[in-house]
Amino acid sequence: MQWWCFAQQEPWTWTWRPLVGVWVGLVLLVLAYRRLVRRASADPESRKTTRWRRAAFAAGVFLLWASLDWPLGPLGAGYLASVHMSQFLAVGLAAPALLLLSLPPAAFDGLLTRPRTLAVLEEVTSPLSAFFIFNIVMTVSHWPGVVDALMPTQLGSFMLDLAWFAGGLIFWWPVIAPVPRRAAFPPLGKIAYLALNAFLIRPPFAMMVFSQHPIYSIYELAPPPGGDALGDQQFAGAIMKIGSAWILFVGVVVVFKQWVRSESDAEARGT
């Protein structure tokens, strides 16, 4: 049974294929979210923001489903590097941000009663640690040797997708999650953190765009619809750079608006 998409040396067909692992994972995610929201529903502030948070959760789940399920999942796994890179933007950047935004603040309160977990989170999700973890995951998971070694198996492909998702959660955590509290990471620091990651030139981007030859054997030797592997690879590099910059720019705008609103509220309370 094929439970996760992986690179196969078979010509592409539009015949639908069930990917049970994707469905099971999303169902578990929905159940976990319902449980967290139910626990946090006693908090009045959580009830006020339930509607838009649920919309963010629905958008995050949709992005995960559309990226990992048929047809984009199989296409990105072994046919087109550009689709693979679009999956990364959804699974590793956009969806984690939406899912964290979907959680009401009270949903994080349970972490306050677990000092060991909180201590680990404080270390792993500090802005400096999150910056390095995310960029290391992003670089290693797109390194040609790693991609060519892991993508031909279901478990390897699943590990790459999971690494993207976990790296994205760690990256967005210090910006979005209220626990642990970071008084030393003000809105201006968050804006600088996101802007730096938006403009940063990473090794995989440089290799994909400036290499004179295809760097991924999987996509170079892919059966149809894989065609011009070099052109598709360069397109994938452009998607990585431009797409991630736009997602992070949206994050900058949201943080800035929240900052302005909080300053306005503080002035209103002071008058």
How many Cβ atoms sit within 10 Å of the Cβ of residue 68? Answer: 28
Rounded to whole angstroms, how far apart are CA atoms 83 and 66? 12
pTM of the predicted protein model: 0.94
Q: What's the token pair of residue 132?
A: 């390095």
Is 165:146 a contact under the CB 8 Å cutoff? no
pLDDT the model gives residue 106: 86
Q: In this predicted model, what pLDDT tens digit does every residue of 57-96 receive, in sequence order?
A: 999 999 999 999 999 999 999 999 999 999 999 999 999 9
Note the pLDDT of residue 47.
59
Instruction: Note the pLDDT of residue 45.
Output: 62
As a whole number, mean pLDDT of residues 192-215 equals 94
Other C-beta atoms closer than 10 Å to the C-beta of 174 total 23
CB 13 within 8 A of CB 31: no
User: Is 14 a residue whose pLDDT tops 80?
Assistant: yes
> pLDDT category, 43, cuts 50, 70, 90?
low
Q: Residue 1: is its pLDDT beyond 90?
A: no
Q: How confident is the model at residue 183 (pLDDT cuts 50, 70, 90)?
A: confident
pLDDT digit string, tens, across residues 45-58:
655 667 889 999 99
Q: Could you tell me the residue ranges of all domains in the chain? A: 20-270
Q: For residue range 120-161, what is the model confidence (pLDDT) as tens digits? A: 999 999 999 999 999 999 999 999 999 999 999 999 999 999
What is the percent of the chain with per-residue pLDDT over 90, rounded to a whole number? 73
Cβ-based burial of 217 (10 A; exposed 0-12, middle 13-18, buried ≥19) = middle
Tell me what the pLDDT averaged over the chain comes to: 92
pLDDT given for residue 206 in this prediction: 93
Give the single-character DSSP code of 79. Answer: T
Quote the tokens at residue 75.
């296409």
Give the model's confidence band at 113: pLDDT under 50 very low, under 70 low, under 90 confident, else very high: confident
Half-sphere exposure of 216 (CA within 13 A, CB side): 38
- Over the stretch 242-271, which tens digit does the pLDDT of each residue have? 999 999 999 999 999 999 988 887 777 765
